[in-house]
Amino acid sequence: MADRPIRALVAKVGLDGHDRGAKVIARALRDAGMEVIYTGLRQTPEQVVEAALQEDVQVVGLSSLSGAHMQLFPPVVELLRAKGGYDILVIGGGVIPEEDIPYLKEAGITEIFGPGTPTTRIVEYIREHVS
């Protein structure tokens, strides 16, 4: 297999400082053979998109536990598409009520992984959906 490894950006959007989950997922993706960049805290959607394009990633994982996901996740997809990142997969996680999920999916966040999701499921999902 001479395939180049999947490149992933794990991003904390908004002001929320809970990054245990984001860091655990970054580690799990790396252990699964992906190249992972973690943005650190307090990123705006604009900063996330810039990092995603600059680092040439195939998947962006967004994390928010503060309830700001409805305002902060959709602009990431919008800006990515506007700047030419058409094929970049965008997924999300955190404390996200089930009734918010249809809206987020509509906005182009293709999957939401809530608390209790095994990291292996996220790895499989990314492998299946990255083009």
Partner 1 sequence: MFDRDYVQQLEQKQAEWEQRVAKEIEKRPERKKEFTTDSGIGIERAYTPVNIGAKDYERDLGFPGEYPFTRGVQSTMYRGRLWTMRQYAGFGTAEETNQRFKYLLEQGQTGLSVAFDLPTQIGYDSDHPLARGEVGRVGVAINSLEDMEILFDGIPLDRVSTSMTINAPAAVLLAMYIAVAEKQGVPADKLDGTIQNDILKEYVARGTYIFPPRTSMRLVTDIFAYCAKNVPKWNTISISGYHIREAGSTAAQEIAFTLADGIAYVEAAREAGLEVDEFAPRLSFFFNAHVNFFEEVAKFRAARRLWARIMKERFGAKNPRSQMLRFHTQTAGCSLTAQQPEVNIMRVAFQALSAVLGGTQSLHTNSFDEALALPSENAVRIALRTQQVIGYEIGVTDTVDPLGGSYFIEALTDALETEAQEYLERIDATGGAVKSIELGFMQQEIQESAYRYQKAIESGEKMVIGVNKFQMQEDTRPALLRLDPAIAERQVERLARLREKRDAGRVAAVLQRLREAAVGTDPLMPVILEAVRAYATLGEICGVLREVFGEYKAEQVV
Helix (H, G, I), strand (E, B) or coil at 105: helix
Longest dimension (CA), the chain: 42
Q: Which of 118, 124, 127, 129 binds partner 1 (CB under 8 A)?
A: 118
How many residues bind to partner 1 according to rule CB under 8 A?
37
Rounded Cα gap, residues 41 and 39, in angstroms: 7
Rounded Cα gap, residues 12 and 83, in angstroms: 20
Give the interface segment with partner 1, choosing from 34-42, 48-56, 82-90, 104-112 (CB under 8 A).
Answer: 34-42
Rounded Cα gap, residues 85 and 83, in angstroms: 6
Site membership for partner 1, residue 95 (CB under 8 A): yes
Asked whether the beta carbons of 100 and 69 are under 8 A apart, the reply is yes
Asked whether the beta carbons of 62 and 89 are under 8 A apart, the reply is no
Q: Which of 51, 53, 68, 101 binds partner 1 (CB under 8 A)?
A: 68
Query: How far apart are CB 95 and partner 1 at their closest, in Å?
Result: 7
Site membership for partner 1, residue 111 (CB under 8 A): no
Sites of contact with partner 1 (CB under 8 A)? 10, 14-20, 23-24, 26-28, 30, 36, 38-42, 44, 66-72, 95, 97-98, 114-116, 118-120
